[in-house]
A = this chain, B = another copy of it.
Amino acid sequence: MKKTRIGLIRVLTTNDPEVLGLHGNIIMDLFPELEVITHCIPGQPQGVFDQTTEKQAWPKVVALAQEMATDGLKAIVVSCAADPGVRQAREVLDIPVIGAGSAAAHVALSLDTSIAALGITDNIPEAMADVLGPALIASAKPVGVETTVDLMAPNGKKATLEQAEKLKEKGAKVLVLACTGMSTIGVAQDIREELNIRVVDPVVASGFLAWYVAREL
Protein backbone atom coordinates (compact mmCIF):
# COMPACT_ATOMS: atom_id res chain seq x y z
CA MET A 1 0.00 0.00 0.00
CA LYS A 2 1.34 3.40 -0.98
CA LYS A 3 1.08 5.58 2.11
CA THR A 4 0.38 9.31 2.17
CA ARG A 5 2.87 11.28 4.22
CA ILE A 6 1.51 13.86 6.63
CA GLY A 7 3.36 15.93 9.21
CA LEU A 8 2.56 16.18 12.90
CA ILE A 9 3.87 18.87 15.23
CA ARG A 10 4.11 18.17 18.95
CA VAL A 11 4.20 21.22 21.22
CA LEU A 12 5.64 19.12 24.05
CA THR A 13 9.42 19.18 23.75
CA THR A 14 10.93 15.74 24.25
CA ASN A 15 14.06 13.78 23.32
CA ASP A 16 12.33 10.46 23.94
CA PRO A 17 11.39 9.01 20.55
CA GLU A 18 8.64 6.92 22.12
CA VAL A 19 6.93 9.93 23.74
CA LEU A 20 7.48 11.99 20.59
CA GLY A 21 5.86 9.38 18.37
CA LEU A 22 2.79 8.70 20.51
CA HIS A 23 0.29 10.88 18.63
CA GLY A 24 1.58 9.86 15.23
CA ASN A 25 1.25 6.21 16.24
CA ILE A 26 -2.36 6.72 17.35
CA ILE A 27 -3.13 8.13 13.90
CA MET A 28 -1.20 5.47 11.96
CA ASP A 29 -2.90 2.68 13.94
CA LEU A 30 -6.36 4.01 12.99
CA PHE A 31 -5.50 5.16 9.46
CA PRO A 32 -2.92 2.76 8.03
CA GLU A 33 -3.01 4.69 4.74
CA LEU A 34 -1.07 7.50 6.48
CA GLU A 35 2.61 7.77 7.30
CA VAL A 36 3.02 10.39 10.02
CA ILE A 37 6.31 12.31 10.27
CA THR A 38 6.56 13.88 13.75
CA HIS A 39 8.68 16.75 15.04
CA CYS A 40 8.41 18.78 18.24
CA ILE A 41 9.04 22.45 18.92
CA PRO A 42 12.06 23.29 21.11
CA GLY A 43 12.14 24.62 24.66
CA GLN A 44 8.72 23.58 25.99
CA PRO A 45 9.20 20.47 28.14
CA GLN A 46 5.81 21.12 29.82
CA GLY A 47 3.98 21.74 26.56
CA VAL A 48 1.25 24.37 26.14
CA PHE A 49 -1.08 24.85 29.09
CA ASP A 50 -1.86 28.59 29.35
CA GLN A 51 -1.76 31.81 27.33
CA THR A 52 1.93 32.40 28.08
CA THR A 53 3.06 28.99 26.87
CA GLU A 54 0.72 29.31 23.89
CA LYS A 55 2.33 32.62 22.91
CA GLN A 56 5.76 31.07 23.30
CA ALA A 57 4.74 28.15 21.12
CA TRP A 58 2.99 29.60 18.11
CA PRO A 59 5.88 31.22 16.23
CA LYS A 60 7.91 28.03 16.74
CA VAL A 61 5.03 26.00 15.32
CA VAL A 62 4.87 28.20 12.21
CA ALA A 63 8.64 27.97 11.67
CA LEU A 64 8.61 24.19 12.10
CA ALA A 65 5.58 23.81 9.81
CA GLN A 66 7.34 25.80 7.09
CA GLU A 67 10.43 23.63 7.40
CA MET A 68 8.44 20.38 7.41
CA ALA A 69 6.30 21.44 4.44
CA THR A 70 9.36 21.39 2.17
CA ASP A 71 9.39 17.60 2.64
CA GLY A 72 6.48 16.83 0.30
CA LEU A 73 3.80 16.38 2.97
CA LYS A 74 0.11 16.32 2.07
CA ALA A 75 -1.07 18.05 5.29
CA ILE A 76 0.27 19.12 8.67
CA VAL A 77 -1.42 18.42 12.00
CA VAL A 78 -0.67 20.68 14.97
CA SER A 79 -1.25 18.25 17.81
CA CYS A 80 -2.40 20.65 20.50
CA ALA A 81 -5.98 21.53 21.43
CA ALA A 82 -5.10 25.25 21.57
CA ASP A 83 -4.25 25.23 17.83
CA PRO A 84 -1.08 27.31 18.43
CA GLY A 85 0.15 28.73 15.11
CA VAL A 86 -2.56 27.06 13.03
CA ARG A 87 -4.11 30.27 11.74
CA GLN A 88 -0.70 31.81 11.09
CA ALA A 89 0.73 28.68 9.41
CA ARG A 90 -2.26 28.60 7.05
CA GLU A 91 -1.29 32.07 5.86
CA VAL A 92 2.12 30.89 4.68
CA LEU A 93 1.55 27.28 3.59
CA ASP A 94 -0.32 25.86 0.61
CA ILE A 95 -1.11 22.48 2.20
CA PRO A 96 -3.91 22.13 4.77
CA VAL A 97 -2.91 22.83 8.37
CA ILE A 98 -5.17 20.95 10.76
CA GLY A 99 -5.40 21.98 14.40
CA ALA A 100 -6.30 19.23 16.86
CA GLY A 101 -8.51 21.59 18.87
CA SER A 102 -10.59 23.01 16.03
CA ALA A 103 -10.75 19.62 14.27
CA ALA A 104 -12.18 18.00 17.42
CA ALA A 105 -14.67 20.83 17.91
CA HIS A 106 -15.84 20.61 14.29
CA VAL A 107 -16.22 16.82 14.41
CA ALA A 108 -18.22 17.11 17.64
CA LEU A 109 -20.49 19.78 16.15
CA SER A 110 -21.09 17.67 13.04
CA LEU A 111 -22.70 15.06 15.30
CA ASP A 112 -24.62 17.18 17.78
CA THR A 113 -24.99 20.67 19.18
CA SER A 114 -24.95 19.82 22.88
CA ILE A 115 -21.26 19.55 23.69
CA ALA A 116 -19.19 19.42 26.87
CA ALA A 117 -15.43 19.89 26.94
CA LEU A 118 -12.84 18.35 29.25
CA GLY A 119 -9.46 20.06 29.27
CA ILE A 120 -6.57 20.94 31.57
CA THR A 121 -7.23 24.68 31.86
CA ASP A 122 -9.92 26.61 33.73
CA ASN A 123 -11.29 27.78 30.40
CA ILE A 124 -11.02 25.60 27.33
CA PRO A 125 -8.67 26.85 24.60
CA GLU A 126 -10.01 29.82 22.63
CA ALA A 127 -9.55 27.94 19.35
CA MET A 128 -12.12 25.42 20.57
CA ALA A 129 -14.44 27.82 22.41
CA ASP A 130 -14.69 30.01 19.28
CA VAL A 131 -15.82 27.05 17.20
CA LEU A 132 -18.18 25.55 19.79
CA GLY A 133 -19.90 28.84 20.64
CA PRO A 134 -23.27 28.35 22.35
CA ALA A 135 -23.15 24.59 21.69
CA LEU A 136 -20.66 24.31 24.57
CA ILE A 137 -22.93 23.66 27.54
CA ALA A 138 -20.25 22.86 30.14
CA SER A 139 -16.54 22.37 30.64
CA ALA A 140 -14.26 21.02 33.36
CA LYS A 141 -10.69 20.07 34.19
CA PRO A 142 -9.43 17.13 36.26
CA VAL A 143 -8.61 18.04 39.87
CA GLY A 144 -4.86 18.31 40.43
CA VAL A 145 -3.98 18.50 36.73
CA GLU A 146 -2.31 21.66 35.43
CA THR A 147 -0.17 20.44 32.50
CA THR A 148 -0.18 17.59 30.03
CA VAL A 149 2.62 16.03 32.09
CA ASP A 150 0.29 15.81 35.13
CA LEU A 151 -2.14 13.75 33.04
CA MET A 152 0.52 11.06 32.69
CA ALA A 153 0.88 10.79 36.49
CA PRO A 154 -0.67 7.69 38.14
CA ASN A 155 -3.96 9.40 39.08
CA GLY A 156 -4.31 11.41 35.84
CA LYS A 157 -6.75 9.07 34.18
CA LYS A 158 -8.90 8.60 37.30
CA ALA A 159 -9.17 12.37 37.85
CA THR A 160 -10.21 12.79 34.21
CA LEU A 161 -12.91 10.12 34.44
CA GLU A 162 -14.39 11.77 37.53
CA GLN A 163 -14.90 15.04 35.66
CA ALA A 164 -16.22 13.28 32.56
CA GLU A 165 -18.98 11.77 34.69
CA LYS A 166 -19.95 15.20 36.03
CA LEU A 167 -20.11 16.59 32.49
CA LYS A 168 -22.32 13.73 31.34
CA GLU A 169 -24.68 14.50 34.22
CA LYS A 170 -25.04 18.03 32.87
CA GLY A 171 -26.74 16.60 29.78
CA ALA A 172 -24.09 16.86 27.06
CA LYS A 173 -24.59 14.43 24.18
CA VAL A 174 -20.97 14.62 23.01
CA LEU A 175 -17.86 15.05 25.16
CA VAL A 176 -14.87 16.62 23.44
CA LEU A 177 -11.41 16.31 24.95
CA ALA A 178 -9.72 19.71 25.04
CA CYS A 179 -6.13 18.56 25.58
CA THR A 180 -4.11 16.20 23.39
CA GLY A 181 -2.43 14.91 26.55
CA MET A 182 -5.73 13.09 27.08
CA SER A 183 -5.11 11.36 23.75
CA THR A 184 -1.68 10.34 25.03
CA ILE A 185 -3.21 8.52 28.02
CA GLY A 186 -5.98 7.04 25.84
CA VAL A 187 -8.70 8.16 28.20
CA ALA A 188 -11.40 8.54 25.49
CA GLN A 189 -11.89 4.78 25.34
CA ASP A 190 -12.11 4.53 29.16
CA ILE A 191 -14.75 7.28 29.23
CA ARG A 192 -16.79 5.55 26.51
CA GLU A 193 -16.68 2.22 28.32
CA GLU A 194 -17.45 3.60 31.77
CA LEU A 195 -20.01 6.25 30.87
CA ASN A 196 -21.48 5.22 27.50
CA ILE A 197 -21.16 8.71 26.03
CA ARG A 198 -19.79 9.76 22.63
CA VAL A 199 -16.25 11.14 23.05
CA VAL A 200 -14.24 13.04 20.44
CA ASP A 201 -10.47 12.69 20.86
CA PRO A 202 -8.47 15.62 19.40
CA VAL A 203 -5.58 13.55 18.01
CA VAL A 204 -7.99 11.08 16.43
CA ALA A 205 -10.10 13.95 15.01
CA SER A 206 -7.07 15.60 13.44
CA GLY A 207 -5.92 12.27 12.00
CA PHE A 208 -9.44 11.73 10.66
CA LEU A 209 -9.28 15.07 8.83
CA ALA A 210 -5.75 14.37 7.57
CA TRP A 211 -7.08 11.09 6.18
CA TYR A 212 -9.84 13.07 4.41
CA VAL A 213 -7.15 15.19 2.77
CA ALA A 214 -5.02 12.16 1.92
CA ARG A 215 -7.93 10.36 0.27
CA GLU A 216 -8.70 13.48 -1.76
CA LEU A 217 -12.36 13.24 -0.79
Contacts and interface: CB of A to CB of B under 8 A. Distances in A.
Contact of A208 (B97, B98, B212): B212
A39 to B, nearest CB: 21
A171 B110 CA distance: 26
B30 A217 contact: yes
Nearest to A130: B133
A198 B106 contact: no
Given A198-B96, A217-B204, A209 B112 contact: no
Q: How many copies does the complex hold?
A: 2
Given A96-B198, A198-B96, A217-B208, A109 B87 contact: no
Contact of A110 (B30, B103, B113, B215): B103
A1 to B, nearest CB: 16
Chain A, interface size: which category? 20 to 34
A198 B215 CA distance: 12
Nearest to A86: B113
Given A90-B112, A98-B110, 9 more contacts: A30-B217, A87-B113, A90-B114, A96-B111, A102-B110, A109-B131, A110-B209, A204-B217, A205-B217
11 contacts: A90-B173, A96-B112, A102-B109, A102-B110, A103-B110, A107-B212, A111-B212, A111-B213, A201-B217, A204-B217, A208-B212
